[in-house]
Amino acid sequence: ATVSSVVASNHPKFEPGQLVLGYSGWQDYEVSSGKGLTWLDPDAGPVSTALGVMGMPGLTAYVGLLDIGQPKPGETVVVSSAAGAVGSVAGQIARLKGCRTMGVAGTAEKCRYTVQEFGFERCLNYNDDDFVEQLKDACPDGIDIYFENVGGKVFDAACALMNTAGRIPVCGMISRYNDTALPEGPDTLPRLMRAILTRRLLVCGFIITDHGHRLGDFLKDMGGWLESGEVHYREDVTAGLENAVHVFQGLLAGSNTGKALIRVSDDPTMKR
């Protein structure tokens, strides 16, 4: 998604100088019919949040956690990629709903700010040799909701601890996106299917474009949480469109620390 400034317009709904949210791609200029553009209120806050906590990543966390996870007070929620734009919001919403929130991230620094800035009870580094044991120790009563963003060994470890009637919103599988063949090792599908059957697990993938009807509720709730300081966010901003490919590669490698953004011009809302 992109935030752009209208430089010229023959469209009755858009005027030069207005800020709009769209899907213009990696380019300096776009000619648009107006379809798919959403006007952004510059007084509502930094427009960059329309790409993160108040945009698609925030809505993804909101729908996945609330509609599929259906958290209840006192339940244990584990969120993979907890330092990222989606995972950090999912964990904070779980905390607001009275759950124990456990995060999983890939570096000690990401784990640090996931706890200190986002309010997770604990965050574990999946690169630690004893990660599986740490997860068991952090979840002595099992896991009720596992918010899935990464797949791989984190999914395997969390799945083994799922409680009866547990829920697994499947948002992404980033550790497997570049696979060209099946992973090495034994076939774990029968074990997974048995767990789904015997523990009555709900495993539900979702694509956020199917949930546009939730946008109004999301904007109202998230706007309130941000204003009250109950939800926090991080942005990892890089200047220059020429760096877009490098930043995207870094995103897939997990090197970003917050919502990865490319800034191609000054943000006028930051001067208000």
Tell me the angle at which helices 152-159 and 131-138 cross, rounded to the nearest 10 degrees: 40
Angstrom distance (rounded) from CA 91 to CA 94: 5
Residue 41 sits at the vertex; the CA angle it makes with 35 and 45, to the nearest 5 degrees, is: 130
- Per-residue pLDDT for 151 more than 70? yes
Average pLDDT of the chain to the nearest whole number = 93
Residues 176-216 pLDDT 10s = 777 788 888 888 899 999 999 999 999 999 999 999 999 99
Domain locations in the chain as residue ranges: 1-40, 56-208
Reduced 3-state DSSP string for 140-171: CCCEEEEEECCCHHHHHHHHCCEEEEEEEEEC
Q: Could you count the other beta carbons within 10 Å of the beta carbon of residue 29?
A: 8
Identify whether the C-beta of residue 129 lies closer than 8 Å to the C-beta of residue 117.
no
Supply the pLDDT for residue 28: 87
Supply the pLDDT for residue 271: 56
Residues 17-73 pLDDT 10s = 999 999 888 888 999 999 989 999 888 878 899 999 999 999 999 999 999 999 999
Quick check: pTM over 0.85? yes
Tell which CATH architecture fits domain 56-208.
3-Layer(aba) Sandwich (3.40)
Supply the pLDDT for residue 266: 79
